[in-house]
Structure 1
Amino acid sequence: MKKFLALLLSMSLVFGLAACGGESATTPAPEGSAPAESGETEASVTRITLWTYPIGQWGGTDPQLDTIIAAFNEAHPEIEVSYELLDYTNGDTQVTSAITASNTPDIIMEGPERLVSNWGANGLMVDLSDLWADTEADIAATSEAVVSACKGTDGNYYEYPLCMTTHCMAINYEVFEQAGALQYIDEETRTWTTDGFVKAMEAVAASGLVSTPAIVYCGGQGGDQGTRALVNNLYSGTYTNADHTAYTANSAENVEALTLLQSMVNDGTISTSASFQASDELQAFANGTCAVTFAWNASNKAAYASQAAFTPFAMAFPSDDGVPELCGGIWGFGIFNNGDDAKIEAAKTFIKFVCDDAAQGPESVRLTGFFPVRSSFGDVYAGTDQAEQMSEFQSLMPYLGDYYNVISGWTEQRTNWFNMLQRILVSGGDPQTEADAFVEASNANI
């Protein structure tokens, strides 16, 4: 019996050594047997790695990756998937270090800003056009912006998307009601005009129900999608040109918007803060000390709504024509080109399963807390305990505007943006002069 156990142990050591190194591991054929033909090994396992930023329950504090991988292995026991969770504080540094050391993961989950405009544009990613062959029309039916954002300037697809959302704002419904400001919004469509926004802020300010009607935060880049959307929507301006090759924040429309916000700060109908980022503004909103947040979405509602003693009511950003164009988020998968065809094919198999499988695909989306890019998935929250919470954000999805985040120089412009807001709203700088300086500095990094 002891000899038998020793034999088993020695065999397990052989198999364990064969699996080391992260390469495809194949069970060796018995000594003296004929070599197997290509593709006919008795038992092979391909090992791949997944790194993911904190996208809902795909990462963060309550990851469900073990459950996802277990479901995948029921269909594909021949592929083993290990994972590492990244955060937005150190994640980019970890990936850069992995690139430098030629030790990148096989799969990485994030958005086009990184997968397409950064790593894809630098020749590090696998072209995923074959994955798109059967689903492009389905995704395009949801949003052409998603299709465009996942494609590099060379025409290759470097991201296969899973989910998307629109960022929006929210109001304190009860304060607006008591201040007589609900007359300035369209509750059914959750839209309002620029004129309505100004009048609503005047009514809330005059009511004295909150310390400040709204805070245009500019203490850092956190939540900058909110301040960008506010400025761009007020007079239908754009942040970049159509082909995402230049920043256009100094257009007449945007300067008019910046001038309006500056005047509203001066007359006290909104305030500003050079120390606040979105998290600070969201906390003030949840505490009831300001009546508006410019940094709302489904994820932030889940984090802050339970603290509020009022009804947060999701709204699109105000626009001069009443037709908003909202900033959005797109998340999906890319594959680093590590030169191993077997691992690349295994990575594609995993991605197709979690994104496109009839059962797993909708569940994968639900775990992100966002919405499917595939039109055929329909309402993935219907009949779940998330249905009511998600319905208001679902109604804002048709307002998704241009996904300009794919422009290069993105990291640098984020710093330029909040510095520009500080100079205009806090220091009283000339909006045209400061917007011109922003564009000059940001375009220099393209």
Structure 2
Amino acid sequence: MKKKRILALMLAASMSLGLAACGGGGTSESPAGNTDTPSGNTPSGSGETVELTIWTYPIGKFGDYDTMQALIDEYTAANPGVSIKFELLDYTNGDTQVTSAITSGTAPDIIMEGPERLVTNWGANNLMVDLSDLWTEEATADIAATSEAVVNACQLDGKYYEYPLCMTTHCMAINYEVFEQAGALQYIDEETRTWTTDNFVKAMEAVRDSGLVAVPGIVYCGGQGGDQGTRALVNNLYSGTYTNADHTEYTANSPENVKALELIKSMVDNGSLNANAGFQAADELQQFANGTAAVTFCWNASNKAQYASQVAFTPYAMAFPSDDGVPELCGGIWGFGIFDNGDEAKIEAAKDFIRYICDDPEQSKESVQLTGFFPVRASLGNVYEGTDTEADAAEFLTLMPYMGDYYNVIGGWTEQRTNWWNMLQKILTGGVDAQTAADEFVSASNAAIG
């Protein structure tokens, strides 16, 4: 497919991302929030236009109006029998919008997000098209060479409800200069960006005692935004797990996790951490960017770019601390699904658009760059090599080998997110002991699996 390149736009925008997983950030929309792209005849020559709708959450520049317009213009120029209307979602109201659209029978044809929505929510409720034909033997092998977890996360009961584009690991970050001045750098391994639980405790106490910041770190528990950060903190401290291996039940009340929750509570009590029942990740990130807090538990490439113009220090990406020094980080997988609206012409056109974004030899690399994350296809290699963002990408590439189990595909996901921050509030600010609160979390979340 011959296409005019959008490389100039992409390079200017890559690594400038929406907060795809940390619950912050909005979208840049047109005044109406939608656009229709002119089109001509269908490839079949019928003279009729196939009209598609695509909704995207703010996954990098896929949450940007001008970027989406450029992508659609390029595709429809080569496919004049297709017109595409798009809408940009955010993580505040997006789920409500999708639910309302499903209820009213006006769901979009294509939607961009991750397996926890596409597969184990809408797919599990028989709302999505099986995309197995996109998962050719070649594509599956290429993706599996990067991560078998991605292949597994995109399917349910033998049907593929997501065709993935990119992935990343979520991490935390420290204020490098504060740690340096506080004498806390001795507690981290700068080569591997890892640290042990014992050294994390020592580092946070050193920062506390230095008086260089108002609070060493903030454990936010005012909502679900950025909850992958607090989950990873708890699970890594003593090598606990969030679910069992089969993703059929929650295990947050294990002895390892309860011990971690008790440690966090003790650190809150001694002032080396702060618990805030009114904060979500976006609030905590702002405190980190302001220099008020010395660490953030919700960091990735998107947030580094988002706050780049605000920070007056070096935000240094780190893995979460673990008792054995070997972290298992939460990951993010983003791609496309198709709602089954009963129109085969639309479904086939939607699949073709997804192939263009994810499989086209030229566009697939640019598509990944627009997200600011990393390709699920091993064959694409380092898509940032030779770009202005190569150094920034390298920082997060270092952490990719630490990606752990993608447990987000368990049932009851929506309910457990509310249960999680409520549990943290009970322990950190409500006076409930960790075992009791964790048992309540597991009981309520397992009941929601259905």
Normalised by the length of structure 2, the TM-score is: 0.88
Partner of 1:144: 148
Task: Name 1:347's counterpart in structure 2.
Answer: 350
Q: Contact 2:41–2:80 at 8 Å: present in 1 too?
A: no
Match of 2:55 in 1: 51
Q: Which runs of 5+ in 2 are unaligned?
A: 1-36
How much has 1:106 moved relative to structure 2? 1.3
Matched, 1:171 2:174: yes
Secondary structure of 2:275's partner?
strand
Which of these residues, 434, 437, 446, is aligned with residue 434 of structure 1?
437
- 1 CA distance for matches of 2:107 and 2:407? 27
Q: Secondary structure at the residue paired with 2:173?
A: strand
- Report the Cα offset of residue 418 of structure 1: 0.9
Match of 2:188 in 1: 185
Q: 1:131 aligns with which of 122, 130, 134?
A: 134
1:104 aligned partner: 107
CA distance in structure 1 between the aligned counterparts of 2:103 and 2:292, rounded to whole angstroms: 47
- 1:80 alignment partner AA: S
Map 1:324-335 to 2 at 5 A.
324-335=327-338
Are positions 1:276 and 2:267 aligned together? no
2:362 maps to 1:359:
yes
Deviation at 1:211, TM superposition (A): 1.5
| Alignment check: 8 A CA contact 2:40 2:80 kept | no
Letter of the 2:147 partner, please give it: S
Change in 2 beyond 3 A, CA 1:377/1:326: same
Alignment of 1:2-401 (within 5 A): 41=45, 43-60=47-64, 62-133=65-136, 134-152=138-156, 154-401=157-404
Q: Which amino acid aligns with 1:355?
A: C
Q: Deviations over 1:407-445 (max 9, x none)?
A: 111111111111111111113321111110110111111
Give the whole-Å Cα distance in 2 for the aligned partners of 1:395 and 1:313. 12
Report the secondary structure of 1:135's partner residue. Answer: helix
Q: Which residue of 2 aligns with 1:32?
A: none
Alpha carbons 2:40, 2:82 under 8 Å: kept: no
**Cα RMSD, aligned residues only:** 1.8
1:424 is the counterpart of 2:427: yes
Q: Is residue 2:407 matched to residue 1:404?
A: yes
Match of 1:36 in 2: none
How far apart in 2 are the matches of 1:117 and 1:54? 20
- The answer on whether the counterparts of 2:130 and 2:160 sit within 8 Å (CA) in structure 1 is yes
Matched residue type, 1:392: E
C-alpha separation in 1, matches of 2:400 and 2:375: 11
Q: Distance in 2 between matches of 1:376 and 1:41?
A: 35
Q: Distance in 2 between matches of 1:347 and 1:360?
A: 16
* Alpha-carbon distance in 1 for matches of 2:184, 2:84: 53
Note if contact 2:41-2:81 (Cα within 8 Å) is conserved in structure 1: no
Q: After alignment, is 318-327 or 379-388 more displaced?
A: 379-388
Shift of 1:96: 1.8
Task: Indicate conservation of the 8 Å contact 1:25/1:46, yes or no.
Answer: no
Q: Check conservation: 2:182, 2:210, Cα contact below 8 A.
A: yes
Larger radius of gyration between Structure 1 and Structure 2: 1
- SS at the partner of 1:305? coil
Instruction: Report the CA distance between 1:80 and its aligned residue.
Output: 2.4
Helix, strand or coil: the match of 1:226? Answer: helix
Mind listing any 5+ residue stretches in structure 1 that lack a counterpart?
Answer: 1-21, 28-38
* 8 Å contact from structure 1 (residues 262, 428) kept in 2: no
- Post-superposition Cα deviations, 1:127-146, rounded to whole Å, max 9, x if no partner, equal 11111113111111111111
Count of paired positions: 411
- 1:26-63 per-residue CA deviation (whole Å, 9 max, x = no partner) reads 79xxxxxxxxxxx9646454222211112111124x54
Corresponding residue SS for 2:155? coil
8 Å CA contact retained: 1:57, 1:64: yes
Paired residue secondary structure (1:201): helix
Displacement, 1:244?
Answer: 1.2
Q: What letter matches 2:441 in structure 1? A: F
Counterpart amino acid of 2:141? A
Question: Which whole-Å CA distance do the structure 2 matches of 1:373 and 1:424 have between them?
Answer: 38
Contact 1:305–1:312 (CA under 8 A) maintained in structure 2: no
Note if contact 1:145-1:403 (Cα within 8 Å) is conserved in structure 2: yes
1:329 maps to amino acid: G
In 2, the alpha carbon distance for the partners of 1:219 and 1:411 equals: 16
Q: Distance in 1 between matches of 2:301 and 2:430?
A: 33
Give the share of equivalent positions with the same residue, in percent.
Answer: 73
Normalization by structure 1: what TM-score? Answer: 0.89
CA positional deviation for 1:384: 1.4
Aligned residues of 1:236 and 1:253 also touching (Cα < 8 A): yes
Please give the alpha-carbon distance, in whole angstroms, between the structure 2 residues aligned to 1:215 and 1:90: 25
Instruction: Find runs of 4+ consecutive structure 1 residues off by over 3 angstroms.
Output: 24-27, 39-45
Q: Distance in 1 between matches of 2:372 and 2:336?
A: 16
- Matched letter for residue 333 of structure 1: F
Moved more, 87-96 or 282-291: 87-96
